[in-house]
Amino acid sequence: MRLALDHLIIRAADPAATLAELAERGGFPVLAPVEEVAGLASGIVRAGGLDIEVLGIGREPPPRPYGYGAGFVSDAGLEETVAALRALAFPTSPITRAQAGAGDDRRTWRAVQVHGLLPDPFPVPATTRRPGTLDRVAEAATGALGRVPAVARAATRHAGRSMIVVTEYGFDAGAWRAHAGTGPEVAGVHLGTAGHRAAWGRFPLADDQRLHLHDGGAVGVTRIVLAEGPAEGFAIGDVAFEVAGR
């Protein structure tokens, strides 16, 4: 089982304004405008082969946008992935379901939060126990909530400082993304782990030369290097965007 980088997460007090700034300054096409669901707001731009999600989460918004974390996809089913991560001593949440859009644009997905990789993770209950009945009951409960995943309840309170998530898409994500175009390709992602770098050595990542881990400095996604793009670098809050070779 291997995990591939799928998207980056920027947390912001005003997701719509931050999404618009990303589109204007970085030339990233908007994949999904900001949608609000039960106290959580999310919008997405496309950056080459990655998504950049702007997330409004938590009762107390951050003073500046910052790199909240990253999302991954697995080459195995989500149940198998959860079992493997827990066997590697990574606490994970139960699988939750969510959906967005309506009609032909309806999109569904399932996801788990992973703890132990960044400090102060999003405070959803997580465990290293072997998956069993409680996990199946928890997933069924989130399904009954329709478009609002159970984690949205926590999202309206304390959001923590970071988020690592593994997502399994229940729709043709590739086709959906193709409608928006690609935008500038991401050549490098710098992620501050705040003393958790050793744990990343156990995390079953696919080989990806774009991801650079640092124990020192700020926590989360701090720098995104683009293969091409605007003439000059820029910053969105605490996240620096640079163009390789410039």
Token pair, residue 53, equals 């999600």
Q: What's the pLDDT band for 59 if we cut at 50, 70, 90?
A: confident
Q: Which residue has the higher pLDDT, 220 or 155?
A: 220
Most confident of 8-12, 108-112, 241-245: 8-12
Q: Using CA atoms, how far apart are residues 227 and 246, in angstroms rounded to an integer?
A: 10
The whole-model pTM stands at 0.91
Mean pLDDT in residue range 101-121: 88
Q: What's the pLDDT band for 106 if we cut at 50, 70, 90?
A: confident
Mean pLDDT in residue range 161-188: 94
Residue 233: CB atoms within 10 A of its CB come to: 17
Q: What's the pLDDT at 142?
A: 53
Task: Give the tens place of pLDDT for each residue, 198-212.
Answer: 999 999 999 999 999
Is the predicted pLDDT of residue 102 greater than 80, yes or no? no
Q: HEC states along the chain?
A: CCEEEEEEEEECCCHHHHHHHHHHHHCCCEEEEEEEECCEEEEEEEECCEEEEEEECCCCCCCCCEEEEEEEEECCCHHHHHHHHHHCCCCECCCEEEEECCHHHCEEEEEEEECCCCCCECCCCCECCCCCHHHHHHHHHHHHCCCCCCHHHHHCCCCCCEEEEEEEECCCHHHHHHCCCCCCCEEEEEEECCCCHHHHCCCCECCCCCEEEECCCCCEEEEEEECCCCCCCEEECCEEEEECCC
Q: Using CA atoms, how far apart are residues 20 and 200, in angstroms rounded to an integer?
A: 32
Most confident of 91-95, 96-100, 242-246: 91-95
Is the predicted pLDDT of residue 242 greater than 70, yes or no? yes
CA separation, residue 193 to residues 1, 22, 35 (Å): 23, 24, 29
Q: What's the pLDDT band for 97 if we cut at 50, 70, 90?
A: confident
Q: What's the pLDDT at 100?
A: 79
Domains, the chain: 3-183 (3.10.180.10)
Q: What's the pLDDT at 131?
A: 66
Q: What's the pLDDT at 147?
A: 37
Q: What's the pLDDT at 101?
A: 75
Is the predicted pLDDT of residue 241 greater than 90, yes or no? yes
Q: What's the pLDDT at 155?
A: 57
State which amino acid sits at residue 141.
A
Q: What's the pLDDT at 156?
A: 60
Is the predicted pLDDT of residue 51 greater than 70, yes or no? yes
Q: Using CA atoms, how far apart are residues 88 and 146, in angstroms rounded to an integer?
A: 31
